[in-house]
Structure 1
Amino acid sequence: MTTLVRRRDVPVSPPVLTLGEPDRFDGRIRTLELGELVVAEVRADTRQEHRAPRLGARHTAAPHYLLTMPVRGRCVVEQHGRQARLDPFDLALHDTARPSSVLAEDGCRMLTLTFPRHALRLPADRVADLTAIRIPGAHGVPALLGATLNGLPSAVADTSATQAIRLADSVLGLVNSALADQLGTGPADPVAGQRALLLRMQAFAEEHLADADLSPTDIAAAVHVSIGYLHKVFRAEGTTASRWIRARRLEHCRHDLTAPAEAAPAVSEVAARWGFVDAAHFSKLFKNAYGMPPREYRNMTEIARNKRNKGTDHPTAE
């Protein structure tokens, strides 16, 4: 087992996780900031055991909570004299203001979510009862939260700043719901659960856009919901699954058509790459979405690029 993460020895905002003994750590850590949230992916390549020492009060960072979830392999979260032994997609909470450790098996891959205390809309004294307690991730809101955390890196890659803020709000709503459920302080938030499910649906669809046969039925089966519920979730967003798939495919095509002419594939190749098997139908859809046929869009993009390059190569003398 390897002690992988602990809070920093100096106050930072938000606190980013570091290794207990980085000079003896064999693995890697990748972090992602999403508003007030910090998501870290930690991979351990060897089997060791190190425990994080107790830190003095002068080293305590601003109060945050940390949620840990193994995705592959197992880990153990320790705090307040308790141990939570986690299987893949189980969750455990700990408080960064108090000493804690996370131990992981050789080859373990896990995700951690760090967020400020004020983001939890739950009594602090009750939340303290949840630290280093195993939260099973197989069913209910914890399962949705686990799937959402696992999909965050790919979901964030293509989002705007505004969308990232909304995504962070959705994640925090889901965290609040999962913990409230554990405390018995109220039912899970159905809106947060629905948003998390939408993210799972969109993540699956995004990974399979190149499949011309991708359908709402495929997405529903992948996330284990009925086709009727899938339609309900997308209706709540003011769209349908089919429209969302088409819009994402068109956006990928538009992006590929902006490539320099010498490296650009044929328009028909771009269309086929993103699941459009009928070139004429693709051209019509593209024109409806962007106001001109794809070839004209490519030509205008190339002309604009050449003008910019010419202006850079031959600046006007003052």
Structure 2
Amino acid sequence: MGIRVSPEGTAPSRATTWKDWLANADLCREIATADGTDLSAGGRVVDLGVAVLEVKRLRPVHLRREADRVRTHDQDVVQLVVPMRGTVDVTWEGRHDSVTVGDLYVHDLAQLDEVNLQSDGRESLELAVVAIPKPVLPLRGEAMESVLGHGVPGDHGVSGLLKGFIEDLADEKLSLNAADGQRLGAVLVDLVAACFSSLSESGPGPRPGSQRQTLALRIRTYIQCHLADPELSPRSVAAAHHISVSYLHRLFQEEGDTVSAWIRDQRLRRTRRDLADAALIDVPIHEIAARWGFGRAGDFSRAFRRTYGESPREFRSRTARRTPRP
């Protein structure tokens, strides 16, 4: 498709571009059934801004790729498949793997050869499928390629957190507005990046100290989900995880951070992204700041200028452009 995507995304058509790109990343759209069976049994889509989550109910079927349906953009989208019910047997670049409830599978469509969807005795199986454009992920080369085409146990460490987060997002009782979807999409991308980095370093098995690392990542995920709360603080974070404030500070110091600075940095990153979004150009700057937990507009402006070298207004004027009407 020849579309270039930036994680910070300053182009006016950023949201539309991502959606158009991800619309081509459907698990079954690029694969033909051997007998022409209609494999859909229902499902729904959750728009997460930088990612799309599809909950798919599918009839048991054997799928194979048609060689002439391979497209260049297939290699530019990562998919994470989490079986909610049933089993998925996959052949990717000649390598076979099988995943079932409790696991997740990571691939792109470029090298996907065959998929065999098996139910657990019911009429249909259910999958949660996340699609993310590769340029959105802060990973390249080996860190990305070494993970693709592998099933990953989802019962420990970072992969367990990621699987649980995807399952929570897939819950049909979950109702999200557009802003919440974007916030959770950003959290999801961070979790995926952390999971891929962990797997590329040491494979899917548990590592020494993984319990402590899992707690640290769970805390960071909690913070990202609560950035909009102006009362978010080291004390409230520690209380939510039943640890002392001093232990919380030690967890962050081990990674060269402080809790307060990391919270402020995450809030600034989210406001900067929203200020660059042409779709939000009519939303006042102080409202965007408040959405991400900045209680005082003056404090936000000073922190923004200190971090990025220009005021929020100057940044928005330079990056966000209203999309021309036809």
Report TM bin, short chain: 0.5 to 0.7
The root-mean-square deviation of aligned C-alpha atoms, in Å, is 3.8
- Residue 108 of structure 1 and its aligned partner are, at CA, apart by 2.2
2:135 equivalent to 1:123:
no
SS of residue matched to 1:122? coil
**Contact 2:89 2:97 (8 Å CA) reproduced:** yes
- Residue 96 of structure 1 and its aligned partner are, at CA, apart by 2.8
2:51 equivalent to 1:34:
no
SS of residue matched to 1:51? strand
Give the Cα separation in 2 of the matches to 1:105 and 1:87.
9
Matches within 5 A, 1:131-146: 131-146=148-163
2:75 equivalent to 1:50:
no
Which one has the largest radius of gyration? 1
Q: TM-score, normalised by structure 2?
A: 0.52
Match of 1:150 among 152, 161, 167: 167
Return 5+ residue gaps in structure 1 as ranges. Answer: 1-10, 202-225, 238-318
Instruction: Give 1:13's aligned residue.
Output: 21
Q: Judge which range, 72-81 or 173-182, deviates more.
A: 72-81
Give the total of aligned pairs.
Answer: 201
Give the Cα separation in 1 of the matches to 2:75 and 2:198.
26
Give the Cα separation in 1 of the matches to 2:91 and 2:57.
19
- Residue 21 of structure 1 and its aligned partner are, at CA, apart by 3.9
Q: More relative contact order in 1 or in 2 (CA 8 Å, sep 6+)? A: 2
Instruction: Give 2:182's aligned residue.
Output: 165
Q: Judge which range, 161-170 or 54-63, deviates more.
A: 54-63
Give the Cα separation in 1 of the matches to 2:136 and 2:82.
19
- Residue 90 of structure 1 and its aligned partner are, at CA, apart by 0.9
- Residue 132 of structure 1 and its aligned partner are, at CA, apart by 1.6
Bigger strand fraction: 2
- Residue 16 of structure 1 and its aligned partner are, at CA, apart by 3.9
Shift of the 78–227 alpha-carbon distance from structure 1 to 2, 3 Å rule, reads farther
**Contact 1:93 1:133 (8 Å CA) reproduced:** yes
Q: Give deviations 1:34-88, integer Å, cap 9, x for gaps.
A: 102111112233x332312224565645711111111122112321111221121
Instruction: Give 2:199's aligned residue.
Output: 182
Instruction: Give 2:292's aligned residue.
Output: none
SS of residue matched to 2:132? strand
Q: TM-score, normalised by structure 1?
A: 0.53
Give the Cα separation in 1 of the matches to 2:173 and 2:179.
11
Instruction: Give 2:116's aligned residue.
Output: 103
